[in-house]
Structure 1
């Protein structure tokens, strides 16, 4: 079992190649993509999600491509800064949760309840997305992703807009998620400008090439 990234060739129109020649492999658990210069973190996640098409190389998750993961309801990629990955903003968190629960066959309501409490989200669960602050929406995406049971969960800049209690809770949530993902043979990929957890059991840190 492994998440394999093999020398993807990608560039935006009018610009040079990004992440050229980069290769890595990760075991199940938490994989932190670190890039202090903000050059390619989000691009890397979009490539992992199959949202961007590379000209060469590839990504395989236990032998399956991102497209195959999507078809098997095994990929979670929702980013508040990218509306095309989100439901309509009139959707309530409760409605979105119901839709995701029906979509992901290994959905974990126990984990969701823990995360709702840890992120203080219960009071917001029947509000539409448009009524949520940036931080509350970010917390909701993390909670839903970690509870989804998806084989591959992608989170971008998880600390963006969070309040102090949530900032303190994130390392705890990620440490527990790392253990659960490793035990169940799944992958949580988090992109941030610095590591949120030190490398160790079920936790890997990968620096993007400059």
Structure 2
């Protein structure tokens, strides 16, 4: 989903994450209607706003443990691969508030990909990432797209290169 630097994409992602009310229609995910069972709906959605502060006091390792307890399909083997691919090992025992914007984003992305959530929402996923991390993230997105088991919705100013898309929505 593309938006020319506006906030429409973030609001749309928040709507899909059940953080904003919708005016008409309904949202369902794997047979669970958001309006009927908000908790069950949210358990299938991975969403963390890039500037989220509610996890600042957690260590990276503690944050990953929290996410593993939240998502039934959390994949520990995938998390280890993501920690390695995103060079997060030196940061595992640091508090999230101590991390740079790019490292914080890598933590969110590692948790998102490992979560196993039916719907994963990422806002500006490549912002503040170094080139090797951005390349790794793109390869992980492409692998998820090829697997076809989960939905990944990205909000960005342009579509990611070399990632097969089911659809593109321009909000601008």
TM-score, with normalisation over the residues of structure 2? 0.89
Deviations 1:174-210 (A, max 9, x none): 1112233x1x3x211111111114564xx32322343
- CA RMSD between the two structures: 1.9
Go from structure 1 to structure 2 and tell me whether the alpha carbon gap of 1:37 and 1:129 turns closer, same or farther (over 3 Å shift).
Answer: closer
Go from structure 1 to structure 2 and tell me whether the alpha carbon gap of 1:129 and 1:189 turns closer, same or farther (over 3 Å shift).
Answer: same
Q: Runs of at least 4 residues of structure 1 off by over 4 A?
A: none
Segments of structure 1 that go 5 or more residues without pairing to the other structure are 1-32
Segments of structure 2 that go 5 or more residues without pairing to the other structure are none
Tell me if the contact between 1:116 and 1:143 (Cα under 8 Å) persists in the aligned partners. yes
The offset of 1:168, in angstroms, is 2.1
Looking at structure 1, the residues matched to 101 and 83 of structure 2 have their Cα atoms a distance apart, in angstroms, of: 16
Quick one: which of 35, 56, 61 aligns to 2:24? 56
Go from structure 1 to structure 2 and tell me whether the alpha carbon gap of 1:125 and 1:66 turns closer, same or farther (over 3 Å shift).
Answer: farther
Aligned length: 170
Greater fraction of residues in strand: 1
Give the match for residue 193 of structure 1. Answer: 157
Greater fraction of residues in helix: 2
Looking at structure 1, the residues matched to 99 and 61 of structure 2 have their Cα atoms a distance apart, in angstroms, of: 13
Go from structure 1 to structure 2 and tell me whether the alpha carbon gap of 1:56 and 1:166 turns closer, same or farther (over 3 Å shift).
Answer: same
Tell me if the contact between 2:49 and 2:123 (Cα under 8 Å) persists in the aligned partners. yes
Looking at structure 1, the residues matched to 80 and 102 of structure 2 have their Cα atoms a distance apart, in angstroms, of: 19
Looking at structure 1, the residues matched to 67 and 93 of structure 2 have their Cα atoms a distance apart, in angstroms, of: 15
The offset of 1:37, in angstroms, is 4.5
